[in-house]
Structure 1
Amino acid sequence: MLHEAISDEFDPEVLLDTDESLSYCRPGVSQEIVKKLRRGAWIVQAQLDLHGMRREEAREALSEFIRESSKRGLRCLRVIHGKGLGSIGKEPVLKGKVRAWLVQKEEVIAFSQARAHDGGAGAVLVLLQPGSVGPGSSSSSSGKV
């Protein structure tokens, strides 16, 4: 039998610093922002749980959540997309979609996979730009993802 080499000392947080697919920072925004988000420098002010939603439902819910959170002046959000354990083939359907949708939202300046106690691989922490983006602003966001 093959003995696998695994260690109790391994720190998964190290991967977050090197795997760019786990985080995003809008061009022109300092990478320090993403590092602070990963370290928990911002308090999560609201969360959205997408468990059990179909793709279209999740897209609409996420778009509305981002829009409303921005209008309320919130900065740090948690979006729970799940790990895909209940999906066909045990593959996370929403995980990649949520990230793809977030980069298209003008209000989003950064996001990072959540730390283990914030949901780990089943959630993402999202940082919105300061100030609200609402009707009459210079934003060209139509609210669609």
Structure 2
Amino acid sequence: MNKEFDDNGSAEFEKLLQGVKPLAQDTLHFRPPVKSRRDVVENSTRQQAEVVFSDIYQPLLPSDAPMRWNRDDIDPMEVKRLRRGDYVPEYLLDLHGMRQAEAKREIAALIQACIRQNSPCCCIMHGHGTGILKQQLPIWLAQHPDVKAFHKATKEWGGDAALLVLVEVAEQEHRR
């Protein structure tokens, strides 16, 4: 009786499966995916931005004069050179429409790019708007260890709505 049932069932099963193609077996890998070098660098830059900039720190900044600042170990003449336009920014960062967290990440990435590309000057455009970024940007820049000085930009680079930033870049050895 079992033999009849088995033969009968398998024949019907074969009829049902006529014309069906078997699926290819996928191999599953349960290891975490390997991250590219670019992803690792971007992630470390984001983490650095989170650590470096604090909203609590309040540096001594001018309230009545144009926005300017220099580190204690930097000659005040560097700020004057920024104001006069002796430094030409190679990088421009436009913060229009960004939130504070996004702006922090972008500023940190800009400073890292300046250091990597050996570019001592950059321009950050914060815009007029509600003034939140205009107010916070100097506070964040004063906290970064690689920022030597900054000054309100000339009209050519954005005027009151931008800052020229002087970044400390390492002296490159002469290559042959």
Q: Give the TM-score normalised by the residue count of structure 2.
A: 0.59
Q: Does 1:112 align with 2:157?
A: no
Structure 1 unaligned segments of length 5 or more: list them: 1-15, 85-90, 133-145
Q: Per-residue deviation at 1:115?
A: 0.9
Q: Deviations over 1:69-91 (max 9, x none)?
A: 1121110100000011xxxxxx3
Q: Flag the structure with larger Rg.
A: 2
- In structure 1, what residue type is equivalent to 2:91? A
Q: Deviations over 1:31-51 (max 9, x none)?
A: 100001000001111111010
- In structure 2, what residue type is equivalent to 1:53? M
Aligned residue in 1 for 2:92: 47
Q: Distance between the aligned counterparts of 1:94 and 1:28, measured in 2?
A: 27
Q: Per-residue deviation at 1:120?
A: 0.6
Aligned residue in 1 for 2:162: 123
Q: Secondary structure at the match of 1:99?
A: helix
Q: Distance between the aligned counterparts of 1:61 and 1:43, measured in 2?
A: 20
Structure 2 unaligned segments of length 5 or more: list them: 1-61, 172-176
- In structure 2, what residue type is equivalent to 1:29? I
Q: Deviations over 1:94-135 (max 9, x none)?
A: 011111110111110000000122101100000011317xxx
- Contact kept, 8 Å, 2:89 with 2:123, in 1: the verdict is yes
Q: Distance between the aligned counterparts of 1:23 and 1:118, measured in 2?
A: 15
Match of 1:22 among 44, 67, 79: 67
Q: Does 1:60 align with 2:99?
A: no
Q: Distance between the aligned counterparts of 2:166 and 2:151, measured in 1?
A: 9
Q: Percent identity?
A: 33
Q: Distance between the aligned counterparts of 1:63 and 1:70, measured in 2?
A: 11
Aligned residue in 2 for 1:75: 120
RMSD: 1.7
